[in-house]
Amino acid sequence: MSAEVNAGFLLNEHPMRRALADEVHARPFAILPPPVRASHLALAHGDGGAAADLAALAALCARHGMAPPAAGQTHFAADFGAFRLRWEGHTEFSTYTFYRFDAFDDPFAATALALCPKDWLSALPGTVLVAVHLALDGQRRDAERLNALFAGHSIIGSTMVGGRAEAFTDFRIHSDGFGRILVYDQGLTHGQAGRVTQRLLEIETYRILALLAFPVARKLGPELAAMTTVLSDITAALAQPGGDADDRALLERLSALAARAEQQESAHGYRFAAAEAYAALVGKRIADLRETRIAGMQTFGEFMDRRLEPAMKTCQSTARRHTALVRHIARTGALLRTRVDIALEEKNRDLLKSMNRRAELQLRLQETVEGLSVVAISYYCLALLGDAARGLHAVGLPIDSEVAMLAGLPVVVIMVALGVRRLRKAVSGHTEP
C-alpha cells in the first residue's frame, strides 16, 4: 500500500501499519454522563467463539434496524435508544456492558439489563463468568443505606481519582446472580466517569479470570506430590546396581511419568500463565484508580492483597513445582540413559572380544584347511603329471612315470603352497606386488 504525503511523493507502507496504529484506539473508554447504571457480563466463549458473539450482535442490530458489526471485529459499541451497548471480544471470553442514563433512587432495583430483550439475553453464546451491576450518581447514602444495598455484607470502599469519586462493593454474588458496585460522583468529568466505570468492571472481570487457575492448582497439587514420590523412587533405584530387566522397567516407569507431566503441562500451562497476566491487570487497574482510604473500610487494593494474592501465590507455586518436576524428570532420564549406554558399551566390548576369539579360531582353521588344501591339490597335480608321463612313454619317449612323479613332487608341492598362499593374500586384500 502506498500513501501520498505532503511532499507529493509516495511511500510504500507496511501492510500492517494502519492496523497497528489504530490498535491503541480499538477499545476507547466510554463517555458516561452521570447518573448512569451499567450491567456487565463476561462470558466464556462457546463452541462458536467470537463468530457466535458477532452473530448475536447482528441479530440485536437487526431488531433495531442498525448496521451489524463487521466480520472479524473485536470491539463494537452502539446506542439502541433505551440502552447503550459496548461489546469486546477477547481470546477466551467476551464482555457485554449495557448502560442506561435515567435518574434513579434505588441503584440496583431497575438495572440496565432490564431494558434488553430477554429472549436475546437468554440466547447469548458461552457461559457466564462475571455478572455485575454498577450504579454511578451524585447521591450520598449513609452507612445504614449502604449496608442494606449490600445485604449486610462487609463493604470494601475507597476514595479515588484524587477525591472525585468514592466506590463501594462487597465482591459477592447477590440473590439475583449479580455482583454490585456503587460509585458516588464528587465532580467526575464524563470521561473520568467512563474510565472509573470501566476500570472497576475490569477489576471484577480479571479477578474472576485469574481465579480460574486456583481450582486447577488445588487439584494438581496432590497429583504433583504423588508424581514426585514416584520420581524419588525411580531416582533411588538408579543408585542401586541392576540388570537389563531392571533398567527396562525403570525406563517404562519414567516414560509414563514424563508423558503424564507433559500432558499436564499442555492441559494447564496456559491457564497458569493467563492467571498471572490477569492478576497483573487487576493490580494495574487498582493502581490506576489512585485509591485513598475511607476510615473503617478496606480499600480495593487491600482486599486483593488479602484475598486474591494468596490464591495467585498458590497458582505460582504449583506452576513452579510442575516446572521443577519436569526438569527433574529430564535429569533422571539423562542419568538412566547414561546407565543404559554404559551397559550397552560393556555388551559391545564383550561382543567384540567374542568376535576376536572367533576370528582367531577361524584363522587357525583356515591355516589348517590351507595345509590340507596344499596336500590335496599336490596329490591331484602329481596324478596329472604321472598320467602325462605315461602318455609320453606310450608314444615312444623314454620317460618313466614313477621317476617323473618323484622328480616333480617337491616342485609341485612348493608351487601349490606358494599359489595357495598368494590366493589367500589376494582374497584378504594383502596381495603382494
Residue 240 CB neighbour total at 10 angstroms:
7
Is-contact 413 374, C-beta < 8 A?
Answer: yes
- Mean pLDDT of all residues in 207-236: 92
The Cα–Cα gap between 104 and 107 comes to: 6
313: helix, strand or coil: helix
Label residue 240 by pLDDT band (50, 70, 90). confident
| Residue 199: pLDDT over 90 | yes
| Residue 339: pLDDT over 80 | no
The Cα–Cα gap between 280 and 373 comes to: 91
Whole-number pLDDT of residue 56: 93
End-to-end CA distance of the chain: 78
The Cα–Cα gap between 201 and 408 comes to: 118
Whole-number pLDDT of residue 352: 84
Output the nine-digit C-alpha cell for 93. Answer: 471470553
- Mean pLDDT of all residues in 78-100: 93
| C-alpha atoms less than 13 angstroms from C-alpha of 277 in its C-beta half-sphere | 7
Q: How many residues does the chain have?
A: 433
The Cα–Cα gap between 200 and 206 comes to: 10
Each residue of 7-30: pLDDT tens digit? Answer: 556 778 888 887 777 766 666 788
Whole-number pLDDT of residue 428: 63
Q: Cβ contacts of residue 304 below 8 Å, gap of 6+? A: 207, 282, 283, 286
The Cα–Cα gap between 423 and 430 comes to: 10
- Mean pLDDT of all residues in 109-115: 93
Among the residue ranges 1-15, 53-67, 133-147, 347-361, the one predicted with the least confidence is 1-15
Label residue 354 by pLDDT band (50, 70, 90). confident
Each residue of 27-59: pLDDT tens digit? Answer: 678 899 999 999 999 999 866 678 899 999 999
Whole-number pLDDT of residue 427: 66
Question: Which pairing describes strands 292-293 and 179-185: parallel, antiparallel, or unpaired?
Answer: unpaired
CA dihedral 317, 321, 324, 329 (to 10 degrees): -170
Whole-number pLDDT of residue 331: 87
Each residue of 399-409: pLDDT tens digit? Answer: 777 777 777 77
| Residue 2: pLDDT over 50 | no
Domain boundaries, the chain: 30-198, 213-350, 364-428
Each residue of 367-402: pLDDT tens digit? Answer: 676 666 777 777 778 777 777 777 777 777 777 777
Whole-number pLDDT of residue 431: 45
CATH class of 213-350: mainly alpha
Whole-number pLDDT of residue 7: 56
80: helix, strand or coil: coil
Whole-number pLDDT of residue 134: 97
- Mean pLDDT of all residues in 318-327: 92
Question: H or E stretch including 227?
Answer: helix 213-238
Residues facing residue 10 across a β-bridge:
4
Residues facing residue 86 across a β-bridge:
77, 97
Q: What percent of the chain has pLDDT over 90?
A: 54
